[in-house]
Amino acid sequence: QQQVKQSPQSLIVQKGGIPIINCAYENTAFDYFPWYQQFPGKGPALLIAIRPDVSEKKEGRFTISFNKSAKQFSLHIMDSQPGDSATYFCAAAGPQGGSEKLVFGKGTKLTVNP
């Protein structure tokens, strides 16, 4: 119940394409869904996050779509650029005995070709 399943494991797109990364969860108590971007050898950086009261959130070229009934959320990257090549992690958090633990997906390695 604590898992977050992320797909695909890897993704290759051409510059300007719209990569989509999907995540699914089971725990209906989750109330916070962030996405992190990680470049090789660096720590993950918070990219964008959503809460279940909205179905979509956009920040620049990055959009989260959230489907509460399906218990799924996804990241779309508009007009992707080679500089977006990185590993992306989805995560989820919610009331867990008072802690603020995040449960992470296993990551998607995105390559954007010039």
CB-nearer residue toward another protein: 18 or 45: 45
Least separation in angstroms between residue 102's CB and another protein is 6
Among residues 86, 93, 110, 112, which is the contact residue for another protein, using CB under 8 A?
Answer: 93
Distance of alpha carbon 47 from alpha carbon 58, whole angstroms? 11
Q: What are the phi and psi torsion angles at 34 (to 5°)? A: -100, 160
The site that binds another protein (CB under 8 A) totals a number of residues, namely: 23
Q: Under rule CB under 8 A, which residues in 16-35 are in contact with another protein?
A: 32, 34
Taking the CB of residue 24, how many other CB atoms lie within 10 A of it?
A: 18
Considering the rule CB under 8 A, would residue 114 count as an interface residue with another protein? no
CB-nearer residue toward another protein: 20 or 49: 49
Q: Are 23 and 35 in contact (CB under 8 A)?
A: no
Q: Are 67 and 73 in contact (CB under 8 A)?
A: yes
| 41: helix, strand or coil | coil
Per CB under 8 A, residues contacting another protein are 6, 9, 32, 34, 36, 41-46, 49, 89, 93, 98-102, 104-107
